Amino acid sequence: MYWRPVRDVLAELVSELSPEEIEQLLDTPPDPSLGDVAFPTFRLAKARRRPPAEIARETAEALAARGFSARADGGYVNVALPREAAVRDILRETAAPDFARFSWGAGKRVVIDMSSPNIAKPFGVGHLRSTVIGQAIRNLLLRAGYEVLRVNHIGDWGTQFGKLMAAYAMWGIPKGAPDKIRAYLELYVRFHEEAERRPELEDEGRRWFKRLEDGDPEARKLWRMFVDESLKEFMRIYDRLGVSFEYVLGESFYNDQIPGVLEEVRAKGLLEESEGAFVVRLGDDLPPALLLKSDGTTLYLTRDLATALYRKNVLGADLLLYVVGREQSLHFEQLRGVLRRMGYPWADAIVHVPFGLLRFGGKKLSTRRGRVIFLEEVLDEAKARALQILEEKSPQLADKEAVAEAIGVGAVIFGDLRQSRLHDVDFDMEEALSFEGETGPYVQYTYARAKGLFRRAGEPYEEALAAVPSDVRGIAGDRGWELLKLVAAYPRAVRKGIELYEPSAVARHILDVAKAFNRYYQEERILVEDAEERRAKLALVARVARVLADGLEVLGLKVLEEI
């Protein structure tokens, strides 16, 4: 980091904190006129039991004695760096291959459970969020050196299949359904409607599920059909989102491991009978975990228990992430609870990464009542709108269809990722596609604009990206410096994203970089006559492009060279 000289001196002055701790504390002052680096003294004040302002004053004096331009402001020490040397430092750092790459995850394997939609049901908005948040977290973890295995835990087992089979056996495929998933959904909805009047249908559904669990060939055949048809449609969506998986393992995959797992739980004396069913008690804070129903069928939790053991023992996971809506928090606490009672300390490696709701135009989703918005329709609409915008904005563009797809899909992904994942998101199509707002298209467009400068200048981008010119006066003025500092701060955003499993940290940061660049672009002429100045400016623009591209890749958006 370009403020390393400050950190190193602080490390000598402040023996209570390690250089890493100091680095973590360093920040940029809220107002650039205060300086370039701020060191808050509050932690130190606590350790030394002295007022922060006093420590700030002393530290500033000590820094000044070593030739730094430092001033105390309340509990902060603000330091202004020698500008041109710092500019060159930043240019060097941002050209290095390991810029915004870390190594603390090396040698560790993460299994990330993401997407995990349910067979014979539409790909819901929750699954969309899980897919794009999961993919971004995976991309972030790769930047920390982790090995990451994405697992799609397809919901292909459970009592709902009994209902679906019962409905299919009674009524067959409804006429006029545009595709198989919609047909299955109609069956499912009809089943629930009729079951309200005829409760005996529920028993019929349970009987079918029991047949399935007992391996009845007819039930298996129907089940296979539901699974295959659904997977085909899900794959189309993954293609469009640019997401793939190392493993696609449905819940059913664990069926034959379940008896052994239950046996282990029983042998450890944890399985208790409760009204014919079997539960594991989890203390006063959590409801007991129901693992076996009185009719002998298993539950979602039972399957997740077998799944976790498989991920740990067979896949060799050091960390087990589950990117699943926050409404399932209790489920994952129970999962951890059971594993802990089984005596597995790695239960703590199970981390639920929850997220909030996503609404499209205020509409909520409910599969049961069939008021469902189909993700593909959302993507299609986003693409159509992007195409319209392109027809107006860039009629001469080659390959408009493909660009529109990348922008439309990108708008949906970015609209999801730009807010903290726990926030509920109200997705507004028009807003998400605006080329001027805080959107994916805005960042994609800004990147293309930056790259366009190299085409216009006839100078290779790669050379500008590697260049650390000795004369940097052209970018050492306040405007260039502001932009450079934002570029240099990108690795911090990535680090924060990794540590908090929070892709929005990166989304927000590249928005800031894009905004600062567009201001710069408006206020400064970049392709000037003076060769030195132009070289310095293009070196800066190349870093901007690099950061924007890396951020877009983290988030799972396509990087477009021309829009």
Using CB under 6 A as the criterion, which residues of the chain lie in contact with ligand ARG when the complex forms?
A: 113, 116, 118, 153, 155, 304, 307, 322, 324
Instruction: Look up residue 70 and give its two tokens.
Output: 């430092």
Least Å distance between CB 256 and ligand ARG?
18
DSSP 397: -
Q: Tokens 């319209």 — which residue?
A: 388
Instruction: Look up residue 556 and give its two tokens.
Output: 């799972």
Least Å distance between CB 300 and ligand ARG?
7
Q: Which is nearer to ligand ARG, 119 or 144 (CB)?
A: 119
Least Å distance between CB 129 and ligand ARG?
11
Instruction: Look up residue 334 and give its two tokens.
Output: 């129970």
Least Å distance between CB 6 and ligand ARG?
45
Q: Which is nearer to ligand ARG, 324 or 488 (CB)?
A: 324
Q: Which is nearer to ligand ARG, 130 or 504 (CB)?
A: 130
Least Å distance between CB 173 and ligand ARG?
24
Least Å distance between CB 372 and ligand ARG?
13
Please give the C-alpha separations between residue 65 and each of 37, 70, 108, 461, in angstroms, as whole numbers.
17, 9, 45, 42
Three-state SS at 37: strand
Q: How far apart are CA 496 and CA 491, in angstroms?
A: 9
Instruction: Look up residue 471 and give its two tokens.
Output: 């004369």
Provide CB contacts within 8 A for 356, sequence distance 6+: 325, 326, 421, 422, 423, 424, 425
Instruction: Look up residue 530 and give its two tokens.
Output: 């003076």
Task: For the beta carbon of residue 75, count every other beta carbon within 10 angstroms.
Answer: 19
Q: Which is nearer to ligand ARG, 249 or 412 (CB)?
A: 249
Residue 507 near residue 552 (C-beta atoms within 8 A): no
Chain mean position to CA 423: 13
Chain mean position to CA 267: 40
Least Å distance between CB 551 and ligand ARG?
27
Provide the residue count of the chain: 563
Chain mean position to CA 351: 14
Q: Which is nearer to ligand ARG, 5 or 126 (CB)?
A: 126
Least Å distance between CB 144 and ligand ARG?
23
Q: How far apart are CA 123 and CA 132, in angstroms?
A: 13
Residue number, nearest CB to ligand ARG: 155
Instruction: Look up residue 429 and give its two tokens.
Output: 């199509």
Q: What is the 3-state secondary structure (H, E, C) of 240-253?
A: HHCCCCCEECCHHH
Residue 206 near residue 214 (C-beta atoms within 8 A): no
Chain mean position to CA 83: 36
Provide CB contacts within 8 A for 61, sequence distance 6+: none
Instruction: Look up residue 406 and give its two tokens.
Output: 């990348």
Closest CA to 162 of 198, 124, 119: 119
Q: Which is nearer to ligand ARG, 86 or 164 (CB)?
A: 164
Closest CA to 474 of 387, 540, 553: 540
Least Å distance between CB 115 and ligand ARG?
9
What do you get for the CA distance between the two ends of the chain, in Å? 33
Least Å distance between CB 423 and ligand ARG?
20
Least Å distance between CB 158 and ligand ARG?
9
Least Å distance between CB 322 and ligand ARG?
6
Q: Which is nearer to ligand ARG, 153 or 508 (CB)?
A: 153
DSSP 273: E
Q: How far apart are CA 478 and CA 464, in angstroms?
A: 21
Residue 54 near residue 63 (C-beta atoms within 8 A): no
